[in-house]
Every structure is written in C-alpha cells, then in structure tokens.
Amino acid sequence: MPLVRARRETELGTEVQCSRCHEFWPEDQEFYFMQDGKAHTWCKACYRSDPKVVDKVERWKEKQRKNPAPPRRKQPLWSGTSSVFQPAIEVEEEEQVEP
C-alpha cells in the first residue's frame, strides 16, 4: 500500500513531510533526492545523518581516493606541428551524483 505523504501548500509552493524528522521541506531537489519526479521519503539532511548512508558515502569516497579518475590530458603527447597525428578525443567526465 503506498504511503500517503503528508504535504502542504505554502505561498512558496508544495512542501512534503520528511518521514524521519517530520519536518516539512519544499518538494524539490534542494531538500530531497528526487526520483522519477518524486521526492524520497527522507529529506537530504536525514539521509546525510543516517549512519548507514554516511558509511556508504565514506566507502564511496575511499574508493574514489584509491581509483582516482585519470587526469584530463591537457597537452598532446607529441610535440611539433605535424598534422599527421590526430589529437586524442577528450571524454567528458560525468559528474558523480550523490547516492
């Protein structure tokens, strides 16, 4: 059975209630992680303060430190002005999104 979120209309827009801290927060990605246009049941602050989530984020950070993304090549490997070589295609790094 889907949980009916407590929500309220304010002059600034719709606010939904966090199921953890029971505070009302605006229903947008500033305050909630959004999925399929819907806010998660917990506000971001609650996610961030949850030991399990903190642990997960810490592990992710640790992994990032061990496997850092290769630095972008700023300079071509060759020198000179030969036009024989094509410059390496730079791959845009994707922004890492928080869990």
Q: How far is the CB of 42 from Zn ion (least distance, A)?
A: 5
The radius of gyration computed from the CA coordinates of the chain, to the nearest angstrom, equals 22
The answer to the question of residue 18 lying near Zn ion (CB under 5 A) is: yes
- The yes or no reply on residue 39 touching Zn ion (CB under 5 A) is no
3-state secondary structure of 65: helix
Angle at 37 (CA atoms; ends 31, 41), nearest 5 degrees: 50
Applying CB under 5 A, which part among 41-49, 50-58, 64-72, 81-89 lies near Zn ion?
41-49
Task: Note whether 46 binds Zn ion by CB under 5 A.
Answer: yes
Q: Where are the alpha helices (DSSP H) in 1-85?
A: 44-49, 51-66
16 binds Zn ion (CB under 5 A): no
Interface contacts to Zn ion, rule CB under 5 A? 18, 20-21, 43, 46
